A and B are shown apart, each in its own frame.
Chain A
Amino acid sequence: MYQTESWGSPYVPASGRNGVGSYAGGGDPFERIEQLAAESAVVIFSISSCCMCHAIKRLFCGMGVNPTVYELDQAGDPIAGKEMEMALMRLIGASSAAALPVVFVGGKLVGAMDRVMASHINGTLVPLLKDAGALWL
């Protein structure tokens, strides 16, 4: 029986590791994002109820990657979470409200779902993952 909330996947949600809401506290959202992105090889900013975010998580797990996921709707401070979402939207240049999921690999911005897919198809994603140490041959 499949449940929406528990992913049942190899990775551990960031909220579980760092404590609920600690990553979203105060300060410039852009800085926060940059900070968090640098901390792990693969970082996904997500919303727990979003299906596309689920898809991107499945993609990385399917490749054998263990991404760090930050569920912005589960940040301790919802306003801060919202701010980060807006900031991410600005970063990827999204015109519509659907900004998430956003993926960082090796601290560098890859983009939203379409960019991630494109990079996977054109063969640039795997080398990137390898360089970041997220994938081993």
Chain B
Amino acid sequence: LTCSVSFLVSVSEFSSAGGGDCALIGLEESESKHKRGFKQKRSRESCGMGSHRMGEMGLSDSGPTHHHHHHHLPYALLHGMNPSNTAFMSHPDPAFDFGELEEAIVLQGVKIRNDESRAGMLLFLSSPLLTLEMFPSWPMRFHHQQRGGSTDSGSGVNTISSKAEASAHHHHNNNMEPESPISRKAASSSSDHYHFHQMDQLAASNGGAGPSTSSHHQQQQNQSAEKPPNEKTLRRLAQNREAARKSRLRKKLQAYVQQLETSRIKLSQMEQELQRARQQGLFLSGCGGAGGNLSSAAAMFDMEYARWLEDDLRHMSELRTGLHAHLSDGDLRVTVDRYVSHYDEIFRLKGAAAKSDVFHLITGMWVTPAERCFLWMGGFRPSELIKMLISQLDPLTEQQVMGIYSLQHSSQQAEEALSQGLDQLHQSLVDTIAGGSVVDGMQQMAVALGKLANLEGFVRQADNLRQQTLHQLRRILTVRQAARCFLVIGEYYGRLRALSSLWASRPRDTLMGDENSSQTTTDLQMMQQQQQQSSQSHFASF
């Protein structure tokens, strides 16, 4: 009894928290879990609502075999608990296992009979009544059917009585598609109807006439109901339980399938949205880091740049293989010229991007932080690149050396000129927007906008300078030298990019010590590997 107490009370807790479905699960599980001791599983099964408490209440120790779970007495019923207080009563879920309930009611009746106590009989009398009252939300159909005597009865209580009455009845529960298990368990109507009325009569007489007559009557009825009880009733009840279980399972599956369907639809909708957004150039790439603040031109450029970087790796490996394979100069030239065109491509892309979003380029949002730090006018500084290359390009002829130094010199002069031009633009802009009266505000802005437009020209000229520098390098060097040179350039910027990510994941003095150092170690290892690879390629050849 104690087990069942906790059972029912917990059920109401479940449901009062608002989860009829959870109560379902709980009850369902309790049935099957008795066999295995379900405490743990129940808490897993939680809707977040009361599973802990269910577990705590020790429902697992309610009995060794499933046959004993009929000890789950509807305590509330027995002790005249007002059904309207129990939330789950007022929201009878179709999948609720009334099989257990009806079983309990019947067997309690049996128990009482065995006791031969009047109080017990009274309780039995009252309990069916209470069960009838229990489901106020079934009202119309339930009562209607009872009055109208339709074949489909809606009450588990009816079943109890009918089962008790007609042992020979077969309930083809499995084939029926129930709206509620109660209706499924319906026996033939006539007997239900009859017994319901009998119940009514009993109830009516219960309050009025002396207990003896009614109880005697009831006793007779009960005896007749009771006679074949234990075996056949039990079997029928078991059948009902089984059917109820199957129905619940079916419903669960249906609900799940529906969920899957909805998710599938949502997924395809999202895919469509993504496709549309991509077409509109709103695809946000990982590098550049600005996330949601990219203009569509900037986002598109970032995408193109990412692709260009991938191509760069491919070109570099082509150069590497070409050098190692000792291709003829003619063949290697093709690869080298392809690499030059590869750079022409990025300058072309940058030129297009500069028309729409020059700030994205000039502020370096398209490169990694380490690159950005040393950015010059939206890209690399040609003279610095030459300086880096000079030591790596040995051996060079004297003419080549002179050519390289001359290139360095002229690029420096050009850079200086452009920088001064940009400084003047800056100064002019400051003069335009600083000071002046408020009235002139819009005029000021218009002039300032016009001046800002010159930024594009500077980025374009800087890219032009970069492009010309690379072309001149190509002219000065032999094919093999040029191949090595471009490899060096590619690897240099690759390392600069790697430096950015290493820096981001460097171990700091704060809490993040260990995880970052491991990340840094792996990055370092990666770099070392790459270095080994590359050192084989160009250092040895040089």
Which of A28-36, A49-57, A67-75, A81-89 has 4 or more CB atoms under 8 Å from chain B? A49-57
**Which chain B positions have C-beta within 8 A of A51?**
421-422, 424-425, 428, 451, 454, 458
Which residue, A113, A117, A118, has most C-beta atoms of chain B within 10 A? Answer: A117
Let me know if B65 is at the binding interface, CB within 8 A.
no
A-B pairs under 8 A by CB, number: 83
Contact A55:B418 (CB < 8 A) given known A4-B427, A4-B428? yes
Nearest-neighbor residue (CB-CB) of A116 within chain B = B414
Contact with A along B386-430 (1 / 0, CB 8 A): 000000000000000001001100110110111011111101100
Let me know if B45 is at the binding interface, CB within 8 A.
no
**Which chain B positions have C-beta within 8 A of A122?**
468, 471-472, 475
Residue contact A117 to B416, C-beta cutoff 8 Å = no
Residue contact A54 to B420, C-beta cutoff 8 Å = yes
Residues of A within 8 A of B (CB-CB), count: 24
**Which chain A positions have C-beta within 8 A of B417?**
55-56, 58-59, 62
Distance, CA A61 to CA B3, complexed state (A): 100
**Which chain B positions have C-beta within 8 A of A27?**
none
Residue contact A121 to B414, C-beta cutoff 8 Å = yes
Residue contact A98 to B414, C-beta cutoff 8 Å = no
Let me know if B518 is at the binding interface, CB within 8 A.
no
Contact A121:B428 (CB < 8 A) given known A52-B454, A62-B416? no
Residue contact A54 to B410, C-beta cutoff 8 Å = no
Residues of B within 8 A of A (CB-CB), count: 32
**Which chain B positions have C-beta within 8 A of A98?**
457
Nearest-neighbor residue (CB-CB) of A62 within chain B = B413
Let me know if A19 is at the binding interface, CB within 8 A.
no
Let me know if B384 is at the binding interface, CB within 8 A.
no
Contact with B along A117-137 (1 / 0, CB 8 A): 110111101100000000000
Let me know if B345 is at the binding interface, CB within 8 A.
no
Residue contact A118 to B468, C-beta cutoff 8 Å = yes
Contact A58:B416 (CB < 8 A) given known A51-B454, A122-B471? yes
Residue contact B421 to A120, C-beta cutoff 8 Å = no
Residue contact B464 to A117, C-beta cutoff 8 Å = yes
**Which chain A positions have C-beta within 8 A of B460?**
114
**Which chain B positions have C-beta within 8 A of A121?**
407, 410-411, 414, 465, 468-469, 471-472
**Which chain B positions have C-beta within 8 A of A118?**
464, 468
Residue contact B468 to A55, C-beta cutoff 8 Å = no
In B420-467, the 8 Å CB interface with A consists of 420-425, 427-428, 431, 451, 454, 457-458, 460-461, 464-465
Contact A123:B410 (CB < 8 A) given known A51-B425, A52-B421, A55-B418? yes
Residue contact A117 to B468, C-beta cutoff 8 Å = yes
**Which chain A positions have C-beta within 8 A of B411?**
121
**Which chain A positions have C-beta within 8 A of B471?**
121-122
Distance, CA A126 to CA B407, complexed state (A): 12
**Which chain B positions have C-beta within 8 A of A125?**
410
The smallest beta-carbon distance between A20 and chain B, in angstroms, is: 23
Nearest-neighbor residue (CB-CB) of A115 within chain B = B464
Distance, CA A98 to CA B416, complexed state (A): 21
Which residue, B424, B457, B461, has most C-beta atoms of chain A within 10 A? Answer: B424
Residue contact B414 to A4, C-beta cutoff 8 Å = no
Contact with B along A1-22 (1 / 0, CB 8 A): 0101000000000000000000
Distance, CA A101 to CA B185, complexed state (A): 96
The smallest beta-carbon distance between B435 and chain A, in angstroms, is: 15
Distance, CA A126 to CA B413, complexed state (A): 12
Distance, CA A62 to CA B415, complexed state (A): 11
Distance, CA A122 to CA B467, complexed state (A): 11
Residue contact A58 to B468, C-beta cutoff 8 Å = no
**Which chain B positions have C-beta within 8 A of A123?**
403, 406-407, 410, 472
Distance, CA A62 to CA B418, complexed state (A): 11
**Which chain A positions have C-beta within 8 A of B425?**
51
Contact of A52 among B416, B457, B472 (CB under 8 A): B457
Distance, CA A4 to CA B428, complexed state (A): 7
Residue contact A114 to B464, C-beta cutoff 8 Å = yes
The smallest beta-carbon distance between A19 and chain B, in angstroms, is: 27
The smallest beta-carbon distance between A35 and chain B, in angstroms, is: 27
Contact with B along A97-118 (1 / 0, CB 8 A): 0100000000000000110011
Which residue, A55, A63, A120, A123, has most C-beta atoms of chain B within 10 A? Answer: A55
Distance, CA A134 to CA B431, complexed state (A): 35
Contact with A along B161-195 (1 / 0, CB 8 A): 00000000000000000000000000000000000
Contact of B413 among A52, A114, A120 (CB under 8 A): A120
Distance, CA A54 to CA B422, complexed state (A): 9
Distance, CA A97 to CA B458, complexed state (A): 15
Residue contact A113 to B461, C-beta cutoff 8 Å = yes
**Which chain B positions have C-beta within 8 A of A52?**
421, 454, 457-458, 461
8 closest cross-chain pairs (CB), A and B = A55-B421, A59-B417, A121-B468, A51-B425, A58-B420, A58-B417, A54-B424, A51-B424
Please report A residues at the B interface, Cβ cutoff 8 Å: 2, 4, 49-52, 54-56, 58-59, 62-63, 98, 113-114, 117-118, 120-123, 125-126
14 pairs across A/B with beta carbons < 8 Å? A4-B424, A4-B427, A51-B425, A52-B454, A52-B461, A54-B421, A55-B418, A55-B424, A59-B413, A59-B417, A62-B416, A114-B464, A121-B472, A126-B410
Known: A117-B414, A117-B468, A123-B472. 8 other contacts (CB 8 A): A2-B424, A51-B425, A51-B451, A58-B417, A59-B413, A59-B416, A113-B457, A121-B411
